[in-house]
Amino acid sequence: MTKQTFLHDKHVELGARMVDFAGWEMPVQYTSIIEEHKAVRNSVGIFDVSHMGEIIIRGEDSLPFLNKIVPQNIADLPTFKAIYCQLTNKNAGIIDDLIIYKLKENEYLIIANASRIDEDLNWMVRNKLGFNVDIINESHNYSLLAVQGPKACELLNHIGITSLPPFFSIKRDELFNINIWISRTGYTGEDGVEILVKNEFSEYLWDKLLELGKDFNIKPIGLGARDTLRLEAALHLYGNDLDENTTPIEAALSWSIPKDKKEEYNGKLVIENQLKNGINKKLIGFKMLDKSIARHGYDIYYDNNKIGIVTSGGFSPSRGDNIGLAYIKNLDNLSVGSTIQIMIRDKLHEAEIIKRPFVTKRNKVNN
């Protein structure tokens, strides 16, 4: 039985094509993925991402508990700030990637991937021994709307959010007399916000944003464009680019790992060892050198040897070419500019390793 968000009927009314995603019936597109993609790059789009999980960590040991389950240093996180984290197992494999927000002393909000909520909760409960914390799954009580694009903040100012939280921050606010948590985060590489609201107000908020967003050319955006947008921004998709057999170092997430964290955490030995001695596989970005498209699961070759696998791939509406993310053997001679080959339907096609992200991100603004 697939679950529906509280905005399900709105999507159907708007003519969306609905698909099953992580056990949820979600809109994949309303009109066209390319059109929706361009709306977010050029003006503003609204996404229903209510399938995402919300987990509250509360109690006097919240900080040491979180510090045990992620490699990041939660002690450095000020109130109302957000941090990108990975929930790691003992081998530093990634159980999920998360955004953790500090709401107040001893209270944190975790935004988790829909497909991973149960695994996350199980793992947290298994790690809870000795910590005085409550782990509360609030996923079924909240809807999450993302408003993303270069005009997103202008639109929010226009409808009554007078001061927006800075990049990677959250604040409590009111919109049309509805209590919301609004955070300056997203999954598109554009400026924008995500709005957390109690389920019963989500339809009203959705309608209002679409109606008042008309002057800003707002469009509802499905999961199809969400995927092309995040791929261009080289943001990982759990289940494609991240899994329990991949560490944050291999996944090119070293930037998110503090090198001086004193506390023990799950997978610390592996991460420290990989930082010191290197890794066997690494995440790279590539573009196809012909018109073919490399998809998830296609094999990568170099010098007639299989050296890796594509984890995400597709057409880039902003660039007009075909791009992807892949894991390859960490060979010294393979770096940006190198040519590799990808097996597509029994034929090898050339691709070039290129820099990530694939487009210039425009989300780090502070007004």
Interface residues with other proteins (CB under 8 A) are 28-29, 32-34, 224, 228, 291-293, 295, 314-315, 317, 322, 345
Q: Which helix (H) or strand (E) holds 155?
A: helix 152-158
Closest of 269, 263, 337, 329 to residue 299, by C-alpha: 329
Smallest separation, CB 261 to other proteins (Å): 40
Smallest separation, CB 204 to other proteins (Å): 30
242 vs 293, which CB is nearer to other proteins? Answer: 293
26 vs 99, which CB is nearer to other proteins? Answer: 26
Smallest separation, CB 87 to other proteins (Å): 29
58 vs 295, which CB is nearer to other proteins? Answer: 295
228 vs 246, which CB is nearer to other proteins? Answer: 228
CA distances in angstroms from 44 to 144, 163, 214, 351, listed in the order given:
16, 18, 10, 32
Smallest separation, CB 33 to other proteins (Å): 4
Mapping DSSP to helix (H, G, I), strand (E, B) and coil, where does residue 212 land? helix
Smallest separation, CB 7 to other proteins (Å): 21
Query: DSSP character for 16?
Result: P
Smallest separation, CB 233 to other proteins (Å): 16
Contacts 24+ apart (CB under 8 A), 82-85: 82/168, 82/169, 82/170, 82/183, 82/185, 83/168, 84/168, 84/256, 85/256
104 vs 291, which CB is nearer to other proteins? Answer: 291
Closest of 313, 291, 318, 315 to residue 300, by C-alpha: 313
How far apart are the C-alpha atoms of 254 and 277, rounded to whole Å? 14
Smallest separation, CB 56 to other proteins (Å): 35
Across the chain, the runs of DSSP E, i.e. the strands, are 3-4, 17-21, 24-29, 45-48, 53-58, 82-88, 94-104, 107-112, 134-137, 142-148, 170-175, 178-183, 192-198, 219-220, 281-288, 299-302, 305-315, 322-329, 339-344, 347-354
331 vs 348, which CB is nearer to other proteins? Answer: 348
Q: What is the total residue count of the chain?
A: 367
Closest of 51, 199, 25 to residue 115, by C-alpha: 51
Smallest separation, CB 351 to other proteins (Å): 15
CA distances in angstroms from 262 to 105, 258, 288, 366, listed in the order given:
21, 10, 43, 31
Smallest separation, CB 223 to other proteins (Å): 10
17 vs 90, which CB is nearer to other proteins? Answer: 17
Strands 94-104 and 82-88: antiparallel
28 vs 133, which CB is nearer to other proteins? Answer: 28
99 vs 235, which CB is nearer to other proteins? Answer: 235
Q: What tokens were used for 240?
A: 């494609």
Angle at 232 between CA 43 and CA 250, to 5 degrees: 145
Closest of 308, 268, 269 to residue 285, by C-alpha: 308
